[in-house]
Amino acid sequence: MEHSAYSQQVRAVYDAMAAAPADSWRPAYHLTPLSGTLGDPNGLCQWGDTFHIFYVTSPLACRTKERTPCVWGHYTTRDFVHYRRQPVALWPDDRRDRDGVYSGSALLRDGKLYLYYTGNVRHHGDFDYIHAGREQNVLRAESTDGVHFTGKTLLMTNEDFPAWVTQHVRDPQWVQQNGKLYMLLGARTQEDEGCALVYESEDGTRFRHVNTLRTEQPFGFMWECPDYAVVDGQPLLIACPQGIPHETYRFANPHQCGCFPVDGPLSGQTTLGDFISFDYGFDYYAARTLKADDGRVLLFGWMGMSEADYGCNPCARNGWDQALSLPRELHWVNGALRQIPLRELQALRSAPHTAEGARGFTAHSRRCELVLHVKPDTDLTLRLLEDARLCYRAGEGVLTLDAGTVCGAGRTVRRMKLPRLQTLDLYLDGSTLEVFVNEGEAVLTTRLFGRDDTVAAEPFAGTLEFYTMNAFVLEDADADPVS
């Protein structure tokens, strides 16, 4: 697609959205697209004192039913409280990415920031777009300032991948291990089994296939968005398996997002442990990590779900849809994964209030944090917005999120096994809800679209803390988001 023509269309919709009235469904302390839809987080990195958060976005998506090419949007921050919306980083302006700039990652090397991504090309014709009709090209662009990217270079095409994989090979992710560079690519084999291809590179330009990561028994037909992180000494392979059979208490979404504990080097004999889900709610996918200079591993996810029955959200009528999740700090404690809210979020708290659970609690806010400390063997019921409910029944050991007929906008019920409930930390922001269970043992993420702003807890044994949450500060909000 010709860059200037597409950018003019994008500029027009961005200008229209900037002049649109305030939208109570739009989150205030989550990152959202100015216009259109938001997808996978990409290129997450820290360069000096600045964190870079790229993401797939389709600026025209909410204004047409036609397929529109995606671009890479870009936010930067130094403290996760003050943000800058940077110009579009990558456009589909090359024959090799004409149908969309798909997911990828960043590599800092020799004073430059390199972005590696999948260039999507869909040929017209009678194709299944699995075995034929699609190009999944690995491309690279570079920048000396972290904002303006040039010099697209084609690195790999479908012909460079093993013959035993389909044309579904995408989402390049850089990993550094033992002084070597590795690139992971999610793949679907000819036998419809998901895996991650491992390539070794000395210069970020030439690649050698050295390993394939897969489970002993097939686990889904495709693995998207692979990533790798060492969390408190435990290596983890992050992936989004597709095609997992649904169960009552897990794997309820169309596609999954989580990690496998890893035993062994990326380039050698490698064993993957049991899959760990990152989230038990309706809307969490395509998670990627950011390795901060202070040693923390931060997890970002797309607050959405492809191919879900609830599909298009009501806010799309207002010209935008979807958001990035709150960043999570990952920890590995006594052989188990823990995900806790980013500590910098505490700077957004205001108007603190504490109360005894026995009296119950009601507040009116669409942007708040509610922390509950629950005594053992206690039932709990929370009412959120119009008709959403979060309930724990100690006798059953089950936590249930009922999105409600109005709030759910097509979402129904999610359940998870929970032998004991000790704490809940809820973040409500416009049309987003994230619930951290037992200091990060589990998380539930969903969108909610009620018009009411009631947040209430029925009487329970325990205590609670309530905070109003301030909005992110968007600096240079009037800056040109296109170029």
The answer to whether residues 304 and 322 touch, using CB atoms and an 8 Å cutoff, is: yes
- Contact between 200 and 267 (Cβ < 8 Å): yes
Under DSSP, is residue 95 helix (H, G, I), strand (E, B) or coil?
helix
Q: For the chain, which domains are there?
A: 3-341 (2.115.10.20), 347-473 (2.60.120.560)
Q: Is the pLDDT of residue 149 over 60?
A: yes
* Model confidence at 1: pLDDT above 90: no
Quick one: CA torsion of 400, 406, 409, 414, rounded to 10 degrees? 10
Model pTM greater than 0.75? yes
Residue 66: pLDDT over 90: no
- The full 3-state SS of 19-37, as one line of letters, equals CCCCCCCCCCCCCCCCCEE
Tokens read off for 87: 């110009």
Per-residue pLDDT band for 18 (boundaries 50, 70, 90) equals: confident
Residue 44: is its pLDDT beyond 70?
yes
Q: What number is the average pLDDT over the span 116-132?
A: 97
Residue 441 has pLDDT above 90, yes or no: yes
DSSP type of residue 90: B
pLDDT digits 0-9 by tens, 162-217: 999 999 999 999 999 988 999 999 999 999 999 999 999 999 999 999 999 999 99
Q: Residue 479: its pLDDT value, please?
A: 78
pLDDT score recorded for residue 478: 75
d(CA 119, CA 204): 17
Residue 2 predicted with pLDDT over 70: no
Active site residues: 40
For every residue of 384-431, which 3-state class applies, written as one string? ECCCEEEEEECCCCEEEEECCHHHHCCCCEEEEECCCCCEEEEEEECC
